[in-house]
Amino acid sequence: MRVQMVLGNWKMHGSLVGNKTLLDGVLAGLAGVDGVTCGVCVPSPYLFQAQFILQGSPVLWGAQNVSQYEKGAYTGEVSVSMLRDLGCSLTLVGHSERRAIYGESDATVAEKFVAAQQAGIKPVLCVGETLDEREKNITNDVVKRQIMAVVEKAGLDAMTNCVLAYEPVWAIGTGKTASPQQAQDVHAFIRALFADKDAELAQNLTILYGGSVKASNAAELFSMPDIDGGLIGGASLDTTEFVSICKAAQPKAA
Contact residues for ligand 13P, defined by CB under 6 A: 9, 95, 167, 172-173, 210-213, 231-235
Instruction: Give the nearer residue to ligand 13P in terms of CB position, either 106 or 241.
Output: 241
**Active-site residue set:** 95, 167
Instruction: Give the nearer residue to ligand 13P in terms of CB position, either 173 or 251.
Output: 173
Radius of gyration of the chain (CA): 17
φ, ψ for residue 206 (rounded to 5)? -90, 120
Report how far residue 63's alpha carbon sits from residue 39's, in angstroms, rounded to the nearest whole number. 10
Neighbour tally for 217: CB within 10 Å: 18
Smallest separation, CB 18 to ligand 13P (Å): 17
Q: With beta carbons less than 8 A apart as the criterion, state whether 91 and 82 touch.
A: no
Taking alpha carbons only, the member of 172, 200, 206 closest to residue 187 is 206
Smallest separation, CB 191 to ligand 13P (Å): 20
One-letter amino acid identity for 164?
L
Instruction: Give the nearer residue to ligand 13P in terms of CB position, either 143 or 202.
Output: 143
Instruction: Give the nearer residue to ligand 13P in terms of CB position, either 165 or 202.
Output: 165
- If DSSP states are collapsed to H, E and C, what string results for 46-104? HHHHHHHHHCCCCCEEEECCCCCCCCCCCCCCCCHHHHHHCCCCEEEECCHHHHHHHCC
Closest-approach residue to ligand 13P (CB): 233
Report how far residue 125's alpha carbon sits from residue 123's, in angstroms, rounded to the nearest whole number. 6
Smallest separation, CB 222 to ligand 13P (Å): 14
Smallest separation, CB 47 to ligand 13P (Å): 17
> Hey, what long-range contacts does 105-108 have (CB within 8 A, 24 or more apart)?
106/145, 106/146, 106/149, 106/150, 107/149, 107/153, 108/68
Instruction: Give the nearer residue to ligand 13P in terms of CB position, either 95 or 191.
Output: 95
Taking alpha carbons only, the member of 197, 209, 206 closest to residue 167 is 209
Smallest separation, CB 108 to ligand 13P (Å): 18
